[in-house]
Structure formats: C-alpha cells, structure tokens
Amino acid sequence: MATVHIFKVVFVNQGKVYEIYARKVSHGSIFGFIEVEELVFGERSTVVLDPSEERIKSEFEGVKRTYLPMHSVLRIDEVRKQGVSKISVLEGGSNVAPFPVPMYTPEKK
C-alpha cells in the first residue's frame, strides 16, 4: 500500500494565520517561494459545517497551486491525517506590517 503524504502548512497573510493541508509541498520554481499543490479540505458530506473551514475553502476555490513567500511560512509538518483548515487572528498583531527584506544579498566586491 502506497504511503499518502499530507502536509500541514501554517503561514501568515495580512495579519491572519492560515493553516492549510496539501498533498504536495516543494521549494518551487520561483526563488523565495514555497509551492503548495493539491490542497485538501474536509468532506462536504458531513452534517455539521465549520464556518472557518468553509471560509478558507471558498478563498482557495479553483486554486490548482499556490506560491507562498518563504518569510511568511511559519512551519510545514508532515502529518498522519488531515485536520481542519482554518484562519485565525495573529496574536499580538497590529496594523503595521514589516517591510520585506531581501532573502539574498549579493556579495560586495
């Protein structure tokens, strides 16, 4: 039986913490970005619907692949089973965003 890989990706976007599940995560072809493919959400056949998961599901509806800036990713975990995707407020956050800094700086000659 083939092993099924599920990755939990936690990242920050506009003052909110996103927790999503995907089958494929890689460094991608764009420098400085993490490529996340095949997003996985809960089944619609359940009777009880989680509003936070429905919100994130509608936000990523129709997305085949997403690229996350490396500096916004908090962690990536390989998990045994899928949990609930959610969006939560960043604790201690404010309306001031940090200025982006370059990941690579060329060496001075």
Chain segment 57-100, per-residue pLDDT in tens:
888 888 889 999 998 999 999 998 888 888 888 776 566 666 66
Length of the chain: 109
**How far is 16 from 90, CA to CA, in rounded Å?**
5
**How far is 91 from 61, CA to CA, in rounded Å?**
27
- Please report whether residue 101 resides in a domain: no
Count: domains in the chain: 1
- Please report whether residue 29 resides in a domain: yes
- Please report whether residue 26 resides in a domain: yes
Closest CA to 85 of 105, 63, 103: 63
Chain segment 20-62, per-residue pLDDT in tens:
999 999 997 888 899 999 998 876 555 556 676 778 888 888 8
Which residue's entry shows tokens 């995560």? 25
Is the separation of the CB atoms in 38 and 21 below 8 Å?
no
Q: What is the pTM of this model?
A: 0.74
- Please report whether residue 90 resides in a domain: no
